[in-house]
Chains A and B, each alone.
Chain A
Amino acid sequence: MTNPISVPLFGGNLIRLTPLDHEKDPEVIAGWTHHAEYVRMTSLEPLRPLTTAQIKKQFEQIDKEMEEGRRLFHYAIRPRDEDRLIGEARLEWVEWSNGTAQLKIGLPDPADRRRGIGSDVLRLLLRFAFRELNLYHLEVQLPEYNVPALRFFEKHGFKLEVRRRQAVNRGGQRWDLISMAILRPDWEARNER
């Protein structure tokens, strides 16, 4: 029997989760902030293109938050055998006394979607959250127009919990903001580790 401690937490079949690279990653991410469709699908903040220098500053803020609060785990997503950055994944707003957190995954290149990469990232994040951080309730927040993401999380066992009516205002239209969540016992029962 293999020792469960040997199971790699950060290496998937297609990708790996690594720390951010302060030298190389900011330029890539600055490019993503110009990508309107990606920003509007993944963020509630208004689209606002940023420079490489501004992203570098954000990295310092992320490092500071991770170290001081221990309530944030922010990862770069890279192909298993390459160094290039293809996305970001994070667990944020960790509440240790309640075992809760919010989860975010971003894969900006459409070519990286529908190929099992997202599933690979989510599998690692959930295993880390439930088997290492010992969390209980993991939530993801999405605008109702991000149908592919809603389907993706539903497929992986997340259930709709909250619908904040008309909480998003984009393209001259109001949209609901959806919260979905997965609980540890439900995840354990799914056996997707």
Chain B
Amino acid sequence: MNDDPTADLLRGRLVRLSASSPEDISRLFVGWIHNSEYWRLMSNGPPFPWTQEGVRKHIEKEAEKEDLRNVFFAVRTLQEDRIIGEIGLDGISYARGESYVGVGIGEAEYWGKGYGTDAMNVILRYAFTELNLHRVSLTVFEYNPRAIRSYEKCGFRMEGRAREAFQREGRRWDMLHLGVLREEWQAHHA
């Protein structure tokens, strides 16, 4: 763990987290979700044919709030400075000290190479040492073992399983709930 308060908090080993213009991220996002597998790993709702204009307006509306209840970043590679995905904390409760986190690497050629794990490690450091949250939660689908392994590498632990909580391809699937406490994260990175 880095105790230096001036350290580059948003930089990892492979990626850094940055702002992105609504114009850029909406264009990329519309391309990513054209890959239905990406959508089905990210969301349990039906794929929605978002237009770039629709996404841009949505992002601009969210950005107006600036209340730090949702904090969204673009995931940029250090090597090429290319935006390859998205990560964000959402539904932050400062009273309870909890946030949900969601991460997606939209560019499929970067899957399985540690970029998502690196982005998650960076945002956990931000959540625990800058926002001072007590725990971070996430949900993941039982058919996404690659993501589950990644989250466990970052220190998340299984906290339960919503049985048959959504339906796809003619069968019902469990939704897994994982969480990491600040003290666990600290021990994990010691």
Contact = CB atoms under 8 A, between A and B. Distances in A.
Interface of A: 44-46, 95, 97-100, 136-137, 139, 159-169, 174, 179, 181, 183
B163 interface: yes
B134 interface: yes
Interface string B165-190: 11100001000010101000000000
- Range for the number of chain B residues in contact with chain A: 20 to 34
Interface in B145-165: 159-165
B97 interface: yes
Contact of B161 (A44, A99, A161, A174): A161
Interface of B: 44-46, 93, 95-98, 134-135, 137, 159-167, 172, 177, 179, 181
A136 B172 contact: yes
A163 B164 contact: no
A163 to B, nearest CB: 6
Given A44-B93, A95-B45, A100-B166, A166 B135 contact: yes
A193 B175 CA distance: 28
A134 to B, nearest CB: 12
A133 B168 CA distance: 19
B137 A166 contact: no
> Would you list the 7 A-B pairs with minimal beta carbon distance, nearest first?
A162-B160, A98-B166, A162-B177, A46-B95, A97-B46, A161-B160, A167-B98
Contacts of A162: 159-162, 177
Given A44-B96, A166-B134, A95 B163 contact: no
Contacts of B134: 166, 169, 174
Contacts of B159: 162-165
Contacts of A136: 164, 167, 172
B100 to A, nearest CB: 10
A97 B47 CA distance: 11
Contact of B45 (A97, A99, A164, A183): A97
Contact of B96 (A98, A160, A169): A169
